[in-house]
Amino acid sequence: MTETITPEQVLKTKQNFSDYLQKNTPVIVTSTIADYQSKSGKVVIPLTDLTQNFDTLVNAINDPKVLNLPKKPYFVWMITNPKEQVMNFLKFINEGSDGELGIFVFRAFLNGDKIDFECLLKPEFKIKEKKPRAITQTSGIQLDYWNAYFEVCDEMGLGDFQVQPASQHYQNIPIGVKGAYIKQTMSVKDSYVATEIFIGNDKAKYAELYKHKDEIEKELGSLIWQCLDTNKSCNIRQVIDSDLKDSETYEETARKHIELAELFKATFKKYL
């Protein structure tokens, strides 16, 4: 028959305390370290003392299994009586390790006829983040415009012309034709946005479209037709003037930009 010991007896010897903790993990411990573990993936090393013995921590750190871990672990030290000097040292380690090493301290104490726990120390959890790429004034404007374009396109329900906002001067939109697509462009310097049909490495396809220039321009208005001998690709575009340094214009410009792309797709697909 297993002998049941009282809470007072649990806190009288290190062995009793260790045996109790092996069978009873305090909720405050699991809830406190859960978020740390999920974000860091670190191993947790439990330590048990009644009165803090600094050698307990030193011996744990020097364990070969601990030294060979891919990440420095979290130490969870369960005690009944903290030592001020040891606690000051542990706090110093937590603050100076920049999240690499972390030490938790929980104190067990009698609360009536049961054992309760409180957290005396926990590390500051730091997530190392990549430094964001510096955004120039132009690339920042580009990102802001494409964000506005994204929202307007969503509002218009024209998912076929949706883009992923990015710090760049163009966005490609497929139209279901091999070797041809719509390119939505913008120029902060020259104050315009443009829609174009881009034809890659297929001048015969461009020539076929050019045969229908009058019919196409009757639907879309005057276009810029460009097919240089020095380039393998050709494009046909139309420009919308817009001061892209003024964010107040973005919604109206984006709406015109999207509507033009819609017209381009409907018109050019008749001849592609």
Q: Which string of DSSP letters, residue by residue, matches 107-118? A: EEEEETTEEEEE
Q: What was the pLDDT predicted at 142?
A: 95
Every domain of the chain and the residues it spans:
7-121, 137-268
- Confidence band of 87 (pLDDT split at 50, 70, 90): very high
- Confidence band of 110 (pLDDT split at 50, 70, 90): very high
What whole-number percentage of the chain has pLDDT above 90? 72
* CATH for the 137-268 domain, from 3.90.660, 2.30.30, 3.30.1460, 3.90.25: 3.30.1460
**pLDDT at 203 exceeding the cut of 80:** yes
Beta carbons of 191 and 254 less than 8 angstroms apart: no
Phi, psi of 112 (to 5 degrees): 70, -120
Beta carbons of 146 and 163 less than 8 angstroms apart: yes
Alpha helices in 221-249 (DSSP H): none
Burial of 145 (0-12, 13-18, 19+ CB in 10 A): buried
Q: How many residues does the chain have?
A: 272
SS3 call for 182: strand
Please state the rounded mean pLDDT for residues 162-178.
93
Tokens 């307990």 map to which residue? 56
Cβ neighbours, 10 Å, residue 103: 22
DSSP state letter for 241: E
Q: How far is CA 167 from the centre of its chain?
A: 17
- Confidence band of 1 (pLDDT split at 50, 70, 90): very low
**Which DSSP helix (H) or strand (E) runs through 103?**
strand 102-111
Rounded to two decimals, the pTM is 0.52
Beta carbons of 31 and 118 less than 8 angstroms apart: no
Q: What was the pLDDT predicted at 38?
A: 75
Question: What single letter denotes the amino acid at residue 191?
Answer: S
Beta carbons of 265 and 175 less than 8 angstroms apart: yes
Please state the rounded mean pLDDT for residues 91-97.
87
CA angle, 172 then 174 then 176, to 5°? 165
- Confidence band of 126 (pLDDT split at 50, 70, 90): low
Please state the rounded mean pLDDT for residues 217-222.
96
SS3 call for 40: helix
Which strand ranges, in their side-by-side order, compose the sheet holding 44-48? 44-48, 74-79, 102-111, 114-121
d(CA 95, CA 91): 6
